[in-house]
Amino acid sequence: MQPLLIEKGIRPGVALLRLNRPESLNALNRALVAELTETLLQLEKDDEVKAIVITGNERAFAAGADIKEMANDSAIDMLLLDQFQRWDQIKRLKKVLIAAVSGYALGGGCELAMLCDIIIASETAQFGQPEIKIGVIPGAGGTQRLVRAIGKSRAMEYILTGRFFSAQQAAAWGLVSRVVPVELYLEEALKLAEEIASMPPIAVQLAKQSVLKAYELSLEEGLHFERRNFYLLFATEDQKEGMRAFMEKRTPQWKGR
Ligand code: CAA
């Protein structure tokens, strides 16, 4: 069975990637993470794709790294493999990634969802970083991104106990942008991706980069980064088209230039 299913053009400008190891609740083994990363890098170069939705199935987005695969590894195996450098490649992608999460998003699954730009959750979604229960800690960004998403005290509580939290809690705390009925979570994520894909691509890219800088820079540096990008957009044909179309009361035609 293919560990990753790819549907390009499922909506205009949208690609859907479906994690497909249902027998292990989409545990992220090395082959799946390699394929996911390679596919994302290819889609990054594909002009027809403007936004990417990553999903699993109703029962699980992903229940974490594959425990069975790594159980007997040594520290040196881990170091040499350096599996998590693939996650840095995903972090650097310019295109928009939306996680459509239903069921378990645990450990590396929660970390993958947090690596995406937006999370849409079904009402059955459950999030958590349960690594502590198997003798380790989150290794793909959980200790850093969960703190930034839900605050230190809550992140500490959930990382130190390994307990899960619900979609409703995740929404109340700002980890996910929306909770929708389980039959709608993928549809809603695809609709959102299509809407973003219809926006001027360079502006989308620079908006994403600017928002992500809020994680990493001081306010002063972040404001500077934003301002440079705002000014830069006045060099695009799409800025001229967008503002002209507004004044002429018509729909703009984007060129991505
Ligand atoms: N790795 C490998 N296999 C997994 C898995 C994982 N992370 N999660 C589930 N599976 C497998 C189970 O072993 C089981 O396979 P078998 O039928 O062959 O036994 C199958 O998926 C179904 O799982 P369960 O029978 O356990 O289903 P359940 O409904 O009783 O429980 C669950 C669901 C609570 C999610 C439970 O499976 C669970 O706790 N999974 C592990 C979660 C976890 O600890 N994730 C963190 C992994 S470490 C990590 O991710 C590190 C990092 O930072 C990157």
State yes or no: pLDDT of 112 exceeds 90.
yes
State yes or no: pLDDT of 163 exceeds 90.
yes
Q: Give the per-residue pLDDT at 95.
A: 97
Average pLDDT over residues 161-183: 98
Q: How would residue 122 be classed by pLDDT, with cut points 50, 70 and 90?
A: very high
Average pLDDT over residues 100-122: 98
CA of 142 to the centre of ligand 1 (A): 17
CA-to-CA distance for 169 and 175, rounded, in angstroms?
9
Show the ligand 1 pocket: residues with CB < 6 angstroms: 24-25, 27, 63-68, 104, 106-108, 111, 130-131, 134, 138-140, 142
* Residue-wise pLDDT tens digits, 40-76: 999 999 999 999 999 999 999 999 999 999 999 999 9
Residue with CA nearest ligand 1 atom 38: 63
DSSP bridge pairs for 126: 104, 166
Q: Give the per-residue pLDDT at 71.
A: 97
CA of 63 to the centre of ligand 1 (A): 5
- Tell me the HSE value of 203 on the side-chain side, using a 13 A CA sphere: 19
Helix (H) or strand (E) holding 170: helix 167-173
Of 39, 205, 32, 179, nearest to 119 by C-alpha is: 179
Residue with CA nearest ligand 1 atom 42: 63
State yes or no: pLDDT of 1 exceeds 90.
no
CB 254, CB 200: distance < 8 Å: yes
Residue from 20, 24, 88, 158 to probe ligand 1 pocket by mutation (most atoms less than 8 Å from CB): 24
Instruction: Dump strand ranges (E) for the chain.
Output: 4-11, 14-19, 51-55, 60-62, 96-101, 104-106, 118-122, 126-128, 164-166, 178-180
Q: How would residue 105 be classed by pLDDT, with cut points 50, 70 and 90?
A: very high
How many DSSP H helices and E strands does the chain contain?
12, 10
Tell which phi-psi region holds residue 162, choosing left (phi > 0), alpha (psi between -120 and 50) or beta: left
Give the total residue count for the chain.
257
Pairing of strands 14-19, 51-55: parallel
* Residue-wise pLDDT tens digits, 175-225: 999 999 999 999 999 999 999 999 999 999 999 999 999 999 999 999 999
CA of 93 to the centre of ligand 1 (A): 28
Residue with CA nearest ligand 1 atom 41: 63
What rounded mean pLDDT belongs to the chain? 97
Residue with CA nearest ligand 1 atom 47: 64
CA-to-CA distance for 139 and 66, rounded, in angstroms?
13
CA of 94 to the centre of ligand 1 (A): 31
